[in-house]
Amino acid sequence: METFLLANRWLHITAGFIGFFVAPVALLVRKGGPAHRMWGKVFFWAMVVAGSSAIVAASLKGMTFLLLTGVFSLYLAWFGYRSLYLKRLGEGQQPAWYDWVVLALGGLIFAGTVSYGLLGRNVVSLLFGSIGLMLVVRQLRGYLRKGPWPTGQWLLNHMSGFVGSYVAAVSAFSATSLKFIPFPINFLWPTFVMIPLLMWAQRSYRQKFKQGQRPTEVVEVRIGTAEPILG
Render pLDDT for 124-165 as a digit per residue (tens, 0 to 9). Answer: 788 888 888 988 998 898 888 887 788 888 899 999 999 989
Cα separation of 8 and 11, whole Å? 5
pLDDT band at 45; cut points 50, 70, 90: very high
Percent of the chain predicted with pLDDT > 90: 25
* Closest among 52, 46, 88 to 70, alpha carbons compared: 52
Cα angle value 69/71/77 (rounded, 5°) = 105
Beta bridge partners of 89: 93
What whole-number distance in Å separates Cα of residue 165 and Cα of residue 94? 25
Average pLDDT over residues 58-78: 80
Amino acid at 104: A
- Phi/psi zone of residue 95: left (φ > 0), alpha (ψ -120 to 50 degrees), beta? beta
80-93 core/surface letters (b: 16 or more CB in 10 A; e: else): bbbbbbbbebbeee
Amino acid in the structure at residue 164: G
pTM (predicted TM-score): 0.85
111 to 43, 99, 128, 181, 228: CA distances (angstroms): 27, 18, 10, 28, 30
Cβ–Cβ under 8 Å, residues 4 and 52 = no
Would the pLDDT of 224 be above 60?
no
**Residue 132: predicted pLDDT:** 85
Q: Where in the chain are the domains?
A: 2-87+149-218
